[in-house]
Amino acid sequence: MKNITVSLDDETHRRARIKAAELGVSVSALVKRYLTELGSSENEFERLKREELALRDQITAFSAANRLPRDDIYERDSR
C-alpha cells in the first residue's frame, strides 16, 4: 500500500474533518474512498461510447438507402 501527503489550507481541512466526522470516518478514509471511486469510475470516452452504443441499439429502421434528396434536406423548391 502506498502513502501520499496532501497539503490543504486550514478551512478546507476543517471542512474535511467535519464531513468525515458526519460520516463516522477519518479524513484519510474519506480521501481514500474518493480516490478509489475516482479511479474506478468510467472516463468521459467510456461514458460517451456507452451512450453511443445505447443510441445505436434504439435505431432499428435506418438504412443508408433511406437518404433524402438534397432539395428536401435544404427545403429548396425543386422547380
Q: Where are the domains of the chain?
A: 10-60
Identify the band that residue 61 occupies on the pLDDT scale cut at 50, 70 and 90. confident
Average pLDDT over residues 19-23: 95
Mean pLDDT computed over every residue of the chain = 87
Cα 54 from Cα 59, distance rounded (Å): 9
DSSP letter (8 states) at residue 69: P
Question: What is the model's pTM?
Answer: 0.50
Cα 71 from Cα 41, distance rounded (Å): 46
Q: Are 16 and 30 in contact (CB under 8 A)?
A: yes
